Amino acid sequence: MEKYERISELQLKLSELRKSKTIGFVPTMGALHQGHLSLIDKCKSMCNITVASIFVNPTQFNDKNDYRRYPRTLEKDGEILEKAGCDIVFVPSEKEIYPETDERIFDFGELDKVMEGKFRQGHFNGVAQVVSRLFDIVNPDKAFFGQKDFQQVSIIKNMVKQLNLTTEIVVCPIVREQDGLAMSSRNMLLSDNQRKEAINISQALFYAKQQAPGTPVNEIRDEAIRRINSSPELKVEYLEIVDANTLQTVSGWDDATEIFACVAVQAGKIRLIDNVQLK
């Protein structure tokens, strides 16, 4: 695996490779786990060259402490990527990505007014800034994202449309721990007790899936929230049952063709998200 820190050197290498090979891209913020590896595997199966990036993007953190606390395990990440067969890793500095302050403001209509967008003001603008910048640098044929960040996927697809980019967005399924907890870089920050109780998040979503579509939407939502909040360490920030296309809440099962339950939970200072398709 080759490692690049400078855009100019990475682009020189990629322009050579692009003559005969397809380029796949897996952007990450590091602290890699099986979820990321599933993206690398998918990328390797669909593209000739797999490029991963590791950059903890400051502009997508609305909470400075969250940015400070975000796990950074660069050396281990390098070993994991190497073992997974990643071809190139791009590890830029903040100055390399943002030589000047990125002032761009994206308009995502209603997509970023709900759920994560409502509770993490400016988060998706920061995601769009960094992903568009990385796409501009890598110019991948395909880019791979996890379904766990359900709303992020919608935002990125919308951004690709707005900017007329040709990169195809490939969405990969959530990878879960054996007990059902969705894999996340933040899981390593949980205390033993928080980690034990965190299984209630996916269990509440699986309960919702079991009940749909026989039970009214609001009843399922209220009961799923109650189940999570019954754990002393957990507090639901939001649990919404939404139309997968518009991300707006539905009130009945006929309101949309694809319906997801999306949840964000505070486990002490750690924020966890998860989702499951109900219809």
Binding stretches for ligand PAF (CB under 6 A): 27-29, 57, 60, 127, 130-131, 149, 152
Measured from the CB atom, the residue of 148 and 221 that comes closer to ligand PAF is 148
* Minimum gap (Å) between residue 13 Cβ and ligand PAF: 21
* Minimum gap (Å) between residue 156 Cβ and ligand PAF: 7
Catalytic annotation, pick one of 29, 30, 35, 36: 36
Would you mind telling me the total number of residues written for the chain in this entry? Answer: 279
Number of neighbours of residue 215 by Cβ within 10 angstroms:
14
* Minimum gap (Å) between residue 121 Cβ and ligand PAF: 16
Evaluate the omega torsion of the peptide bond into residue 213 and state whether it is cis, within 30 degrees of 0. Answer: yes
What is the torsional sign of CA 227, 232, 233, 235? positive
Measured from the CB atom, the residue of 124 and 260 that comes closer to ligand PAF is 124
Structure tokens at 170: 């490939």
Residue 36 annotated among the catalytic residues of the structure:
yes
Task: Please count the CA atoms within 13 angstroms of the CA of 143 that sit on its side-chain side.
Answer: 22
* Minimum gap (Å) between residue 57 Cβ and ligand PAF: 4
Answer yes or no: are the C-beta atoms of 8 and 18 closer than 8 Å.
no
Please report, for residues 38, 71, 74, 217, 238, the alpha-carbon distance to residue 118 in angstroms, rounded to integers and kept in the order given: 29, 24, 31, 21, 10
DSSP 183: P
Structure tokens at 214: 């026989």
* Minimum gap (Å) between residue 127 Cβ and ligand PAF: 5
Q: At what angle do helices 34-46 and 74-84 cross, to 10 degrees?
A: 40
Give residues with Cβ within 8 angstroms of 38, minimum separation 6: 146, 172, 173, 175
Measured from the CB atom, the residue of 30 and 220 that comes closer to ligand PAF is 30
Angle, CA of 263, 130 and 65, to the nearest 5°:
60
* C-alpha 109 chain-centroid distance: 20
* Minimum gap (Å) between residue 60 Cβ and ligand PAF: 6
Rounded-to-integer distance, Cα 84 and Cα 263, Å: 30
Measured from the CB atom, the residue of 156 and 208 that comes closer to ligand PAF is 156
Residues marked as catalytic: 36
